[in-house]
Chain A
Amino acid sequence: DSGVTQTPKHLITATGQRVTLRCSPRSGDLSVYWYQQSLDQGLQFLIQYYNGEERAKGNILERFSAQQFPDLHSELNLSSLELGDSALYFCASSPRGGGYEQYFGPGTRLTVT
């Protein structure tokens, strides 16, 4: 158990809908990262937050947005969902002030039908 929690574990929804994925980082970690793992694109970085501020952005679609709250949990919002958005979405966190590794949560498997 990495200490990173993600809810829900599975999500099935229809095209055009909007969903919210939630992540709680390890205790004390200030950075939160979101990654998408799909069969055709592999594992891709989406976005990073550090202590509530956006720190880095990857290939995140405009239909997707994220935020990190004062209690450091993060939410990834996916809207106008398409079939191609079906993927495993990971949240990760990294230690404050040193340590380079990122600890991943169990992921949320999103299926868009």
Chain B
Amino acid sequence: QSVLTQPPSASGTPGQRVTISCSGSSSNIGSNTVNWYQQLPGTAPKLLIYSNNQRPSGVPDRFSGSKSGTSASLAISGLQSEDEADYYCAAWDDSLNGPWVFGGGTKLTVL
């Protein structure tokens, strides 16, 4: 049971916009920033979004993040086949859960 809650799966067709949600609590998302990691099949996780909505260099602007209250979202616009991956949200947690907690991950399928 992950501290942060994500839908186990999401899907979309090429060119579509897809959003993945991440729900937490006041001790994590509600009081700290959210990061998103992308894990392509058979590879290590890679930083996708940090500090709620910042993209590292090299990450396409098709990827965007947002946060409101105790929830966060990752949006992918202009969906491409190479976006098919697992996506994880993460945040610092101020309670005994922490210090870092992850979501259970969302498997994105490009139909």
- Chain B binds chain A: no
